[in-house]
Structure 1
């Protein structure tokens, strides 16, 4: 007794079933590999290494944040997400992230360099960019100004400090008003009112005459330099009066 002939329809459906079985096998294998790769117990990230000159950053805290955000295996860890997480941290200025086979994550961090306080609640880096940090850095000068004037205030501070450094007179506080008028308080508590225009020339005038003022028997409280020539001096022992020099 002969077997029934194989028709084109039979061959077609047999091919379809074989193709479906192949797809199912591939899907199951892919799912298995995915589960295996994401099994942190199989291929965990065992070591997180931080590099860079770090003074204010708590690397143990950063590692905890990374592991909490990326709990999967070495293969599943997304370096772009780790990078984004690091860039959100206030003391991180720049960062790079690299995975190293078989279980190591290397992170290079450029830490923020604080140069001044800004409006009592933020810090400024050397580029005039603000960031949140602790306010326990008492040695830093204090800068104040309207929002958006950070770079202007820092540039003015740097220019003034360059002039004052020759006289060993560090700036303790700098105020930039809404009208962009400058006032500074020196570390010796002398207050200087420089106004809006030609504030560098006015500050140089103060430096030139400071040795004469320092030789006086009375201590200087404030100096108003908003004059074309000369300046007005207020003395500590008689703050209600001032003297034009």
Structure 2
């Protein structure tokens, strides 16, 4: 009987020790969690006042530079901290920089930003002062950074995308004949005309893309055979169902002769 009581006592004693060991371990864990949380909170509080000091700019940018972006963000970086700066404000500020089309922004701990920038890709001049990008959107930017020769588009403010579509449809036809498109004009009355690099004007009239292309193809098939090399063309009127009319530059104005082929 005494042996049984002794064994029971030992078991209770071990269980009691295990219980208090568990309590002590639990308390230590709570203290450790509290300490870590306190340290993290302190770091976060300090970070709220930490100025933005690191800026990483990525993206292929043939027209904008790191300096352009840095100068645009300088007012924000001087008055905002890592946490207080709004990503939307940074994005909108960067996208106001000439030549920048789009920007994506994210924070980089502890005091920096990563900005991915996409530049505009111009395909044409639009109504003298503006430019047109590959999506047919009009934008304004310094033209002195453009190294390539771009065509000139003219038209009402609501048709730049239409003009770009028309240009892309006509371009292969002229390139196949070794000719370059210099200008495309779309009037308020939706009448089309193009000017080649040598100054020749082709009047296409009010027509859809299929008819415009057909008129140009008809002209390109025969122009080398019917237009003397010594003649300078003022314009070619392609608004005919079966041919075209040519107005020559080298004839007196009131004796200018129209030839129909």
Q: Give the TM-score normalised by the residue count of structure 1.
A: 0.79
Structure 2 residues without counterparts, runs of 5 or longer: 1-41
Superposition deviation, residue 234 in structure 1 = 1.7
1:96 to 104, 110, 113: 104
Describe the shift of the 1:48–1:227 C-alpha distance in structure 2 as closer, same or farther (beyond 3 A).
Answer: same
Q: How far is the alpha carbon of 1:95 from its aligned partner?
A: 1.1
Shift of 1:189: 1.0
Contact 1:91 1:111 in 2 (8 A): yes
Distance 2:43 2:58 in 1: 33
User: 1:23-34 maps to which residues of 2 (within 5 A)?
Assistant: none
Paired residues for 1:1-245 under 5 Å: 36-39=46-49, 43-71=50-78, 72-136=80-144, 137=146, 139-197=149-207, 198-213=211-226, 215-238=228-251, 240=253, 241=256, 242-245=258-261
Alpha-carbon spacing, 1:160–1:101, altered in 2? closer, same or farther (3 Å): same
Please say if residues 202 and 225 of structure 1, whose CA atoms lie closer than 8 Å, have aligned partners that are also in contact: yes
Q: Deviations over 1:148-176 (max 9, x none)?
A: 01111111111111211101211111110
Deviations 1:54-84 (A, max 9, x none): 1211321321221312422223222221012
Quick one: distance in 2 between partners of 1:229 and 1:113? 39
The 1:239–1:206 alpha-carbon spacing in structure 2 relative to 1, beyond 3 Å, is farther
Q: TM-score, normalised by structure 2?
A: 0.74
Question: Which 4+ runs in 1 deviate beyond 3 A?
Answer: 32-39, 135-138, 213-216
Return 5+ residue gaps in structure 1 as ranges: 1-31
For 1:100 and 1:81, the matched residues in 2 are separated by: 16
The whole-number CA distance in structure 1 between the counterparts of 2:172 and 2:228 is 23
Shift of 1:219: 2.5
Distance between the aligned counterparts of 1:235 and 1:211, measured in 2?
Answer: 15
Instruction: Report the RMSD for the aligned CA atoms in angstroms.
Output: 2.1
Shift of 1:214: 5.3
Counterpart secondary structure, 1:238: coil
Check whether the contact 2:51–2:77 (CA below 8 A) recurs between aligned residues: no
